[in-house]
A and B are shown apart, each in its own frame.
Chain A
Amino acid sequence: MRLWRLVILALGGLRRTPLRVGLTVLGVTVGSGALVSMVAFALGIQRMAEAPFEMLGLLNNIEVSPGEGDDDGARTLDDAAIDELAALPGVAAAYPNIRAAGVKLLNGEKSASATAVGVATHVPMLGEVEDLLLAGHFFDSGERPEALLSVVLLRDLGFESPQQAVGAVLKLEANGLSPTDAETFAYERRDFAITVIGVYGMPRMVPGFGHGGVLVPVGLMKEIPGIRASSAMARLRSGKSAVGAGYEKAIVRVEHFADLLPLEERIRAMGFETRTLLERLDNMRTFFVFMDAALAAVGTVALVVAALGVVNTLLMSVLERYQEIGIYKAVGASDGDLVVLFLAEAGIVGLLGGLGGLLLGWAVAWGLGTAVNIYARSHGVTRHFDIFSFPLWLLVATVVFSVVVSVVAGVYPARRAARLDPIRALRRD
């Protein structure tokens, strides 16, 4: 028997009770719409969370720290070592990654505590951060005492708006222990005058740029007291002189992502410790797998409820079409034919419901997405958020899943129809 003929026959069967079939299709539509919008939401959130990693090119970075242990293979991360790293083939840039927590910023009487972060102004890495600038501009490649302020510091420093802060000259107070001799440290305090050239807002999930941060050129960071204290302590512990301590961390930026792992191997072989954001991203992805699964489960429950509607509709259809089924058997339909006929009806309901679900899911995504962006704009956020993601596989999978669930729901009614005794069906006059 040709399947498409049967589909036409099944359509004829569904045509008999348009309202009931329509409501059943609507049920499947709501179920698959819930499923597709929830999964699309999970995927959209994941994409938003991962986007900064890609946008900032952080995935191309290898975080390098000094080698551990006291053998000669363990390397100190000093300026010479960084020059050596920068010279490796495939490396775009290498620079010390210096952070100093607890520096004090003063704007006249007003003050705020901040984390100072060194930025390699000669590396084009943060070019796209300009998207995040709320006012001012990014560093040009010079090493002038300039700074970018995190937007969260503005209020404490007495600025009303990002624009107002740009051009202000702040005092940066830093103190810490600096090694002065093989085993001696001195407490040191230094003040710097820095000019604010811009204000930024940062996605919170990006590590390394604490959102209460002040970004200054790396050259200035090298002057801040205390930045070598902990690596000097580490050298002392392994029996070396505290003088000559290097940096705690450096960033090696590779030109091509494909070179990341081979270069990481090579840097380890040179006696350094390394880390990449790949690991962190993996952890995050694991989290999202669970989130996807949880949301998909909720959506699936909705679809299963809709499937009960399919069972109900088809069972009623079987009972009402007792005579028709008897006729089909009398003209030569086998049990299998009737199973296929009713499964085809179920499949059509699933197909229509699945396609409707895509429309519904899209409408929900459009509605919520628009609402979120209007809300965000009303709070001064200029970025556009795509909180839903509809990859092609999701669309296909939703429709296929909807059809499969409906066909499974049709199995019991279809078997009832097939097992029906034609005599009893035909005797009902």
Chain B
Amino acid sequence: MDVGGDGEVFLETRGLVREFRVGPSLVRALDGLDLAVARGEFLAVLGVSGSGKSTLLHLLGGLDTPTAGDVVVQGRDLASLSPRERTLYRRTAVGFVFQSYYLVPSLTAEENLAVALLFQGTYGPAGRRRAAEALRRVGVERRRAHRPSQLSGGEQQRVAIARAIVHQPPLLLADEPTGNLDRATAEEVMALLHGIHRDLGTTVVMVTHDREMAERVANRIVHLRDGRLVDGEGATP
């Protein structure tokens, strides 16, 4: 399968199914999804809300477990990992960026990064240097002592991106990263993600419903509808 990037498969899903029980009925968020992402690729997953985009990201990030099917990252099936190994995977391999930023409100920008390093077990002089560097990269180092409530939406998302890359993960998962931002700010954030992808070689999987934005930064675009990939412009070749 040609997957773009440098050709080496970084992660893939095989027959991925995820069902949720909502009241009395069973909702199938993902319905046998097969997807491959190359190392160093920037993949955009397009879909309307409710198409299973976020569920896909949670499964790729090891936050959730599939009802059926496999997520294989660098040759390892996430389902085969122990809880401890799964935590380790989240700590080292994945960075998350969310639509609502999800910064801890009681902590400053700097502390939000420190907490991530703390849980990752790498807080220290080197960690602090990396945190400062990440904040500089996203352009908010002057706001590092501010709490989220004192930052604009764009600034909050920049801090969140800094947190996602502070441990230099090979995989960045972005869930509607510009969904809460105005157009101009969204473009800045998108450029930031693109820059990270280009400069650090980070593999990025971004879900969005904004086709225009996706086309500008992604190597490849796939469409998700009702839990399956559907044919369309830029879909799986």
Q: Pick from A1, A15, A324, A330: contact of B96, CB below 8 A.
A: A330
Question: Any chain A CB within 8 A of the CB of B91?
Answer: yes
The residue in chain A whose Cβ has the minimal distance to the Cβ of B96 is A330
Q: Shortest distance in angstroms between A21's beta carbon and chain B's nearest beta carbon? A: 12
- Kindly list chain B residues whose C-beta atoms are within 8 Å of the C-beta of A422: 58, 63-64
Q: Could you give 29 example pairs across A and B, Cβ below 8 Å?
A: A2-B118, A5-B114, A5-B118, A6-B118, A12-B106, A15-B106, A16-B106, A324-B104, A327-B104, A328-B115, A329-B63, A330-B61, A330-B63, A331-B91, A331-B115, A331-B119, A331-B120, A331-B163, A332-B92, A332-B116, A332-B167, A333-B87, A334-B84, A335-B87, A422-B58, A423-B58, A426-B63, A426-B102, A429-B100
Q: Quick one: CB contact mask for A398-429 with B, threshold 8 Å, 1 for yes? A: 00000000000000000000000011001101
Rank and list the top 10 A-B pairs by shortest CB-CB distance, nearest first.
A332-B91, A331-B116, A333-B119, A334-B87, A332-B119, A332-B120, A327-B102, A330-B96, A422-B63, A423-B64
- Kindly list chain A residues whose C-beta atoms are within 8 Å of the C-beta of B103: 327
- Kindly list chain A residues whose C-beta atoms are within 8 Å of the C-beta of B107: 12
The residue in chain B whose Cβ has the minimal distance to the Cβ of A330 is B96
Among A6, A15, A328, A426, residue most surrounded by chain B Cβ atoms (within 10 Å):
A426
- Kindly list chain A residues whose C-beta atoms are within 8 Å of the C-beta of B167: 332
- Kindly list chain A residues whose C-beta atoms are within 8 Å of the C-beta of B118: 1-2, 5-6, 9
Q: Pick from B83, B90, B106: contact of A13, CB below 8 A.
A: B106
- Kindly list chain A residues whose C-beta atoms are within 8 Å of the C-beta of B90: 329-332
Q: Shortest distance in angstroms between A5's beta carbon and chain B's nearest beta carbon? A: 5
- Kindly list chain A residues whose C-beta atoms are within 8 Å of the C-beta of B58: 422-423, 426
Q: Quick one: CB contact mask for A317-338 with B, threshold 8 Å, 1 for yes? A: 0000001101111111111010
- Kindly list chain A residues whose C-beta atoms are within 8 Å of the C-beta of B100: 429
- Kindly list chain A residues whose C-beta atoms are within 8 Å of the C-beta of B61: 330
Q: How far is the CA of A408 from the CA of B24 in the complex (A)?
A: 38
The residue in chain A whose Cβ has the minimal distance to the Cβ of B120 is A332
Which residues does A use to contact B, with CB under 8 Å?
A: 1-2, 5-6, 9, 12-13, 15-16, 323-324, 326-335, 337, 422-423, 426-427, 429
Q: How far is the CA of A335 from the CA of B82 in the complex (A)?
A: 13
Q: How far is the CA of A24 from the CA of B224 in the complex (A)?
A: 49
Residues of chain B in range 76-102 having any CB-CB distance to chain A below 8 Å:
83-84, 87, 90-92, 96, 98-100, 102
Q: How far is the CA of A15 from the CA of B106 in the complex (A)?
A: 8
Q: Shortest distance in angstroms between B105's beta carbon and chain A's nearest beta carbon? A: 8
Q: Are B119 and A423 in contact (CB under 8 A)?
A: no
Among A330, A335, A422, A429, residue most surrounded by chain B Cβ atoms (within 10 Å):
A330
Q: Shortest distance in angstroms between B112's beta carbon and chain A's nearest beta carbon? A: 9
- Kindly list chain A residues whose C-beta atoms are within 8 Å of the C-beta of B64: 422-423
Q: Are A328 and B123 in contact (CB under 8 A)?
A: no
The residue in chain A whose Cβ has the minimal distance to the Cβ of B102 is A327
Q: How far is the CA of A334 from the CA of B92 in the complex (A)?
A: 13
Question: Any chain A CB within 8 A of the CB of B110?
Answer: no
The residue in chain A whose Cβ has the minimal distance to the Cβ of B124 is A2
Q: Given A334-B84, A422-B63, A429-B100, A328–B119 Cβ distance below 8 Å?
A: yes
Question: Any chain A CB within 8 A of the CB of B155?
Answer: no
Question: Any chain A CB within 8 A of the CB of B111?
Answer: yes
The residue in chain B whose Cβ has the minimal distance to the Cβ of A328 is B119
The residue in chain A whose Cβ has the minimal distance to the Cβ of B107 is A12
- Kindly list chain A residues whose C-beta atoms are within 8 Å of the C-beta of B123: 2, 5
Question: Any chain A CB within 8 A of the CB of B121?
Answer: yes
The residue in chain A whose Cβ has the minimal distance to the Cβ of B103 is A327
The residue in chain B whose Cβ has the minimal distance to the Cβ of A341 is B119
Q: How far is the CA of A330 from the CA of B64 in the complex (A)?
A: 10
Q: Are B102 and A1 in contact (CB under 8 A)?
A: no
Q: Shortest distance in angstroms between A292's beta carbon and chain B's nearest beta carbon? A: 43
Q: Are A1 and B121 in contact (CB under 8 A)?
A: yes
The residue in chain B whose Cβ has the minimal distance to the Cβ of A329 is B63
Q: Are B102 and A330 in contact (CB under 8 A)?
A: yes
Q: Are A332 and B98 in contact (CB under 8 A)?
A: no
Q: How far is the CA of A327 from the CA of B119 in the complex (A)?
A: 11
Q: How far is the CA of A333 from the CA of B96 in the complex (A)?
A: 13
The residue in chain A whose Cβ has the minimal distance to the Cβ of B111 is A12
Q: Shortest distance in angstroms between A317's beta carbon and chain B's nearest beta carbon? A: 11
The residue in chain B whose Cβ has the minimal distance to the Cβ of A333 is B119
Q: How far is the CA of A385 from the CA of B99 in the complex (A)?
A: 69
- Kindly list chain B residues whose C-beta atoms are within 8 Å of the C-beta of A2: 118, 123
Q: How far is the CA of A197 from the CA of B105 in the complex (A)?
A: 81
Q: Given A329-B63, A330-B96, A1–B119 Cβ distance below 8 Å?
A: yes
Q: How far is the CA of A331 from the CA of B114 in the complex (A)?
A: 11
- Kindly list chain A residues whose C-beta atoms are within 8 Å of the C-beta of B98: 330, 426
The residue in chain A whose Cβ has the minimal distance to the Cβ of B116 is A331
Q: Pick from B63, B99, B102, B115: contact of A9, CB below 8 A.
A: B115
Q: How far is the CA of A429 from the CA of B102 in the complex (A)?
A: 10
Among A5, A323, A326, residue most surrounded by chain B Cβ atoms (within 10 Å):
A5
- Kindly list chain B residues whose C-beta atoms are within 8 Å of the C-beta of A9: 115, 118
Q: Shortest distance in angstroms between B49's beta carbon and chain A's nearest beta carbon? A: 11
- Kindly list chain B residues whose C-beta atoms are within 8 Å of the C-beta of A12: 106-107, 111
- Kindly list chain B residues whose C-beta atoms are within 8 Å of the C-beta of A427: 54
Q: How far is the CA of A331 from the CA of B97 in the complex (A)?
A: 10
The residue in chain B whose Cβ has the minimal distance to the Cβ of A337 is B119
- Kindly list chain B residues whose C-beta atoms are within 8 Å of the C-beta of A426: 58, 63, 98, 102
Q: Shortest distance in angstroms between B107's beta carbon and chain A's nearest beta carbon? A: 6
Q: Are B87 and A332 in contact (CB under 8 A)?
A: yes
- Kindly list chain B residues whose C-beta atoms are within 8 Å of the C-beta of A429: 99-100
Extra contacts besides A13-B106, A332-B92, A332-B120 (15): CB < 8 Å:
A5-B114, A9-B118, A330-B63, A331-B116, A331-B119, A332-B91, A333-B87, A334-B84, A334-B87, A337-B119, A422-B63, A426-B58, A426-B63, A426-B98, A427-B54
Among A12, A332, A333, A334, residue most surrounded by chain B Cβ atoms (within 10 Å):
A332
Residues of chain B in range 201-236 having any CB-CB distance to chain A below 8 Å:
none
- Kindly list chain A residues whose C-beta atoms are within 8 Å of the C-beta of B54: 427
